[in-house]
């Protein structure tokens, strides 16, 4: 086999550049993404010109996008996305429409004609699914409320790419009437997505299970890769973006816990290599000479993307019922111009709808906004935290404390009550049992969909952020006898436990952890009992197995309790229970 080809040399250069750039970024305490982009700019055609086969490299880089979005789709719960419902659709359509209007105004101000200005608005309206979801993944925030909201809005943006391309074709005179183009595109998109959803829901889990039963790990890996790439190819043939198909396939597969988790573990190493490849290739598109000649226009588009998108997304997410903190964090994630904007601008230039300067302008602005996104999100998150701690107004405003206080005005003063933070699957079950026992309680939920569905029939449920001290105060944490942190995300649970312990040193606190280090952190924050679901499952399996083996029940219970202590579970012993309280130390 002849390895001395130009493409092989390019792959070696890119992987070396990714390794050096990623390591340098880590040493400088920067996100690896920045290192990849800078490395790409250095080895690209505008600088050292070490890479020659750009088209082949871009094709390989597309694998990185496909595999990353497939893996992210597996990690995001499709059920949680469905729960967002009409809110994510309204916010997304509003953001796209209004951003196009702003982009149209910018193009007009620059002296472009109406068609070019419209294309500029379309390109500006799209954010980068790749960058936003990778930033969420790196920060461990995919499962948070703002993470799910951002994922939902990005999914709608990717779907909006289809009618945008139809509009550009109509403007370029290469299609039929606009209405016909849109109708055909919508029908094709609906049909292709229906096939992906059906196969992903029924065929793919069945296939992966059968392949796994054969016992050949390499066969399972190949099947997962084929499924991700097959879904991408299917949507690409239908006129949709290829990564969208992989993302949808991953979302559907996430509903199958076993198949989804196994597929995710197998695809991660390959995904990371190709993702680095993608970002280096993206950096190679940076044209420093163009930036110097058009610094004003580039700065205008960068500023518009950051300021306009953040303002619109924050305002619209607030308008559909989310808390200010959730709205702000969603806006921070989506400030960049997306990779699909390249396709929109490139198609418009190829069809004569826009001038040739539009494509390098969009590419340069997009790469710049992508590069600053991880750092911007981190800095903005720290700023929100600082505002909360230094300003009583912002602490109350961001978490919806005023609304929580208003909701509780009709409730009597509570003493010795239970506070449940989180009204999802776990929290709702706890509340149900507390109600059955006739105990007074307050439940706190930050998801407006869950809150609005339950507040009409449950006046003890308030809409607010349980990680905020003002909301906990409004719920009467000072007089509560039990605080249950049933929050799905570890950082939120940890912060809620810290505030609850500080505001009431005597309250009993129960929380849950997904890993041993999380359990230790919650213990250090002041939790009296931490439930580790995976550990509890192992202990229960041990108990049932030993009982079935004929071991005496008393011996089994002693062994299980000893194992719980050895493995790190902690709680209140029976002789240490506060008198008169009917709660155990584990749930």
pLDDT tens digits for range 305-355 = 999 999 999 999 989 888 888 899 999 999 999 888 887 888 888 888 888
Q: Which CATH number fits domain 6-390: 1.20.1530.20, 1.10.3720.10, 1.10.3190.10, 3.40.50.1100?
A: 1.20.1530.20
- pLDDT value of residue 260: 61
Does residue 145 register a pLDDT over 70?
yes
**Homologous superfamily of 398-532:** NAD(P)-binding Rossmann-like Domain (3.40.50.720)
Contacts of 149 (CB under 8 A, 6+ apart): 84, 88, 91, 317, 322, 326, 330
Q: Which residues pair with 509 in a beta bridge?
A: 483
How buried is 14 (Cβ within 10 angstroms: 0-12 exposed, 13-18 middle, 19+ buried)? Answer: buried
pTM exceeds 0.75, yes or no: no
Q: Is residue 549 classed as helix, strand or coil in its secondary structure?
A: coil
Check residue 300 and give its pLDDT: 94
Q: In this predicted structure, what is the pLDDT of residue 298? A: 92
- Distance, CA of 4 to CA of 6 (rounded, Å): 7
Average pLDDT over residues 202-227: 76
Range(s) within the chain of domains with CATH label 1.20.1530.20: 6-390
The Cα 87–Cα 89 span in angstroms is 5
Tokens of 45: 């055609």
Decide if pLDDT at 271 tops 80.
no
Q: Where in the chain is the domain with CATH 3.40.50.720?
A: 398-532
Helix (H) or strand (E) holding 68: helix 54-75
Of 96, 168, 343, 333, nearest to 241 by C-alpha is: 343
pLDDT exceeds 70 at position 489: yes
Q: What is the pLDDT of residue 93?
A: 92
Lowest-confidence region among 4-18, 142-156, 424-438, 557-571: 557-571
Query: CA 441 to CA 418: how far, in whole Å?
Result: 4
Task: Give the gyration radius of the chain's Cα atoms.
Answer: 26
Least confidently predicted of 182-186, 411-415, 533-537, 540-544: 411-415
Picking from 584, 398, 420, the residue whose alpha carbon sits closest to that of residue 487 is: 420
Question: Which of 372, 384, 379, 422 shows the shortest CA–CA distance to 144?
Answer: 422
Segment among 81-85, 223-227, 504-508, 570-574 with least mean pLDDT: 570-574
Q: Which residue has the tokens 């944490």?
A: 477
Give every CB contact of residue 554 below 8 A, 6+ residues apart in sequence. none
Our CA angle for 303, 304, 305, nearest 5°, is 90
């Amino acid at each position: 086999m002849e390895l001395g080809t130009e493409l092989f040399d390019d792959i070696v250069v890119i992987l070396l550049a990714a390794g050096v750039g990623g390591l340098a970024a880590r040493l400088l305490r920067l996100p690896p993404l920045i290192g990849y982009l800078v490395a790409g700019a250095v080895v690209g055609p505008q600088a050292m010109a070490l890479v020659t086969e750009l088209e082949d490299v871009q094709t390989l880089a597309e694998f990185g996008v496909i595999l990353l979005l497939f893996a992210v789709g597996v990690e995001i719960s499709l059920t949680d996305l469905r729960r967002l419902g009409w809110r994510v659709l309204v916010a997304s359509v509003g953001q796209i429409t209004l951003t196009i209007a702003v982009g149209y105004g910018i193009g007009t101000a620059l002296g472009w004609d109406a068609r070019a200005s419209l294309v500029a608005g379309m390109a500006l309206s799209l954010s980068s699914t790749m960058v936003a979801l990778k930033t969420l993944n790196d920060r461990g925030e995919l499962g948070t409320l703002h993470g799910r909201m951002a994922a939902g809005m990005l999914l709608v943006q990717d779907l909006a790419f289809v009618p945008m391309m139809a509009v550009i074709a109509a403007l370029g005179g290469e299609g039929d009437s606009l209405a016909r183009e849109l109708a055909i595109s919508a029908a094709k998109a609906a049909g292709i997505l229906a096939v992906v959803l059906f196969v992903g829901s029924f065929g793919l889990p069945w296939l992966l299970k059968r392949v796994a039963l054969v016992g050949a790990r390499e066969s399972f890996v190949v099947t997962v890769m084929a499924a991700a790439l097959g879904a991408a190819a299917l949507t690409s043939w239908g006129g949709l973006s290829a990564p969208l198909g992989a993302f949808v396939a991953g979302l559907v597969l996430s509903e199958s816990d076993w198949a989804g988790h196994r597929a995710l573990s197998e695809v991660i190493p390959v995904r990371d290599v190709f993702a680095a490849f993608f970002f280096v290739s993206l950096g190679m598109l940076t044209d420093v000479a163009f930036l110097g000649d058009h610094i004003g226009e580039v700065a205008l588009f960068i500023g518009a993307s950051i300021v306009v998108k953040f303002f619109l997304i924050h305002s619209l997410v607030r308008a559909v019922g989310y808390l200010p903190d959730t709205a702000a964090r969603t806006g921070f994630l989506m400030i960049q111009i997306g990779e699909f904007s390249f396709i929109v601008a490139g198609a418009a230039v190829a069809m004569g709808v826009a001038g040739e300067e539009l494509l390098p302008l969009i590419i340069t602005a997009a790469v710049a906004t992508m590069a600053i996104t991880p750092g911007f999100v981190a800095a903005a998150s720290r700023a929100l935290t600082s505002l909360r701690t230094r300003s009583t107004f912002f602490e109350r405003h961001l978490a919806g404390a005023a609304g929580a206080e208003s909701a509780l005005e009709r409730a009597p003063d509570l003493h010795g009550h239970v506070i449940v933070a989180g009204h999802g699957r776990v929290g709702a079950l706890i509340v149900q049992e507390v109600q059955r026992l006739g105990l007074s309680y307050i439940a706190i939920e930050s998801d407006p969909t869950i809150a609005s569905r339950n507040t009409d029939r449950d006046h003890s449920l308030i809409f607010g952020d349980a990680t905020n001290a003002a909301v906990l105060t409004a719920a009467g944490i000072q007089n509560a006898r039990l605080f249950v942190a049933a929050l799905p995300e570890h950082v939120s649970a940890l912060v809620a436990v810290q505030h609850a312990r500080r505001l009431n040193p005597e309250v009993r606190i129960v929380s849950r952890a997904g890993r041993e280090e999380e359990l230790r952190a919650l213990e250090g924050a002041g939790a009296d009992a931490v439930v580790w679901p995976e550990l509890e499952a192992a202990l229960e399996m041990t108990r049932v197995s030993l009982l079935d083996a004929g071991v005496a029940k008393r011996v089994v219970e002693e062994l299980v309790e000893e194992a719980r202590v050895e493995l790190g579970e902690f709680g209140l012993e029976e002789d240490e229970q506060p008198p008169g309280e009917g709660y155990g130390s584990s749930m």
